Chain A
């Protein structure tokens, strides 16, 4: 009698163990699946527009105080990045990426290096004078050009290029305010049209390679 009982309870224990086992297996696989990565989209760094986007002329100034318009984009390829010199993190790190890209691009291209210009456009003309821009961009690379201009000129240009920015409200003359802005790097073709966009995050090696391929 006692033997039978113990057999019975052993049997129950086995069933219970199996049941717990199956449940944990299903739960385990479920958790593992939900944590697994998704299928990968194209991993190209450069997103090329189906048709280059033609941009209306604009009147800005470069870091020497000289006029800077659509004409200054013509005749060579340009990388454009929008930001401001008081930017705490994104702008310095992106300009550093641009410096690496310029160097890698120069290595890949040798003499053709001059066919690329790198532009940093400040959307904060209230604080960023041409002189200040010059000092700021040369710190990253002597070949970089700073550009800025009045908001009436910046607004339509950034709108056409798909660059968003918002300047925090502040008292006139107050030096303390932030600017939110898009961090995409734009590639302009030698006609001055938008050819493609490098969305963040920016991998300098990859970008330089794809840039060289796009230009050549």
Chain B
């Protein structure tokens, strides 16, 4: 099959799987599994074929492979939709395909496929376990998720949307995939909808991202009305269009149209990729099942945000040259990204929920990418996007595996403790060795453990981009957050896996089935090896051993930015020091925690700051105060009580009363005398006429006959005189 056709076909199998499961297989768990896995498996194969076909092509960025069809007739032209693959979408496709496949496989084990039905499980709540009777009496085991098929249907739709977003050749279909993902994230975060917190988190995620999406849509509309197209090639690949966009001034803040639209699209990215100040939804989204957390909040959806930011880099950087001062949108990106990176890293320091730590670390790492992009380190941002997707998916799935193992222990001991609280864990290294080693690799990759992990190479590139670009302040902020990242990662690993079990449940934790550990191992391989694709040439010692394929391949996307980046050793040493220092310090501080109810060792030295971290700086409360309360007040008091109840209901009631009055008058003056009187009159007349005529009807045939003959004779006479005699 040729590549164009394959590209069209890539998103389809998961969509079909979704449809078939929803319509036909929603009660059959085995079939749903087969359909969902088959769907993403096909997409995966197609993606790999496409990826390996295109990576060898030299001028792929100038001449992307793809095709488009006319879709929507506008006044005098057609709105086209199509597919295309260029270096950026190729690498995105690669990591998306791998992570999605692994997450699907993992979900099979995570939702306890093959386990018995639960004793008291109801749809909308996580499974509570089942009692099994065997030779040794009855004991509790894990039970299958009650809405197993529904999960696979939704996550298939999600996979479809992500593939659609990646292969699309224009911002419109990208936006369609983007919004389907928004919907799916709402449905999946609220998957256990009987939990109040899950419902709230789902609504929060949906509404928060909507804020960004609205600005993004305005941006797309502006872009379309100016250029008449939304296709990447027509806009970003067309120098004349880009030049026009960069040089015309928009009515807002004196920005160029390119910068203004870039900023609007960036606001969509802020929502989707959970950047400050729209980051609040992502930690709450951990209410969903863990594969969803991995899918939405590591591998695909938040990555889609950064993907879009990278895609719209030509707009953001319009008019910028390598080495020149940053444009306004770039400054905004850098500031938001760097701030978010540090801000989220500090919050992650003080969280005890194993998934929440990862959620904040995701926000922080996304901040990294945004900041890198803002400073023009295009390749570094893309590189970090790829490596981060792998190791963050690994970490999320690993944490899910840990929670699963802990739940096993909780069921076994019957204790009522939170299986997600890291303080309840400890010593899981020996109970769950496969999970431990893979989690360790993922954690080290996140911390940027030197040389061997992918995270090191991508993070190092971002730091060196900041340093060599002369943005020293940003460099310091990012280095500081890298240090914090290493620190909280090691805190997490130490609390979870090292030391001794701090609860009974942790003592009875159990390694998870192969469907969960195999994806961990596969992702662990990528968490290490993905970095080898982009080792800088100038790196001392290792540079040049492997060709810096990533830089060449993705770097060719930048048509006009070709500057010599000189490599300095300062960022290299910085990343070495912060990674190793953070890891070491994290281990030293947290290895002494030996009780589940122990105070955090950092609470004392950090004092008030720790409280602030723990409380997430009160951002949620602040939003509650300045947005949600007023909105609720507005809805409850103003709209409902005043406008709806008094004004609108008053008007409606007046109209109703008027109607009743008019109706009464009509009844008295028209209905009763005319209609009723007339009707009764006809009836009475008929009856009286009937009784009057009754006498004629004697029943005697001879009388009738006489009458008939008499009438006939009369008619005959009349006829005779009137017709013949006239």
Does B bind A? no
Chain B residues engaging chain A, CB cutoff 8 angstroms:
none
Chain A residues engaging chain B, CB cutoff 8 angstroms:
none
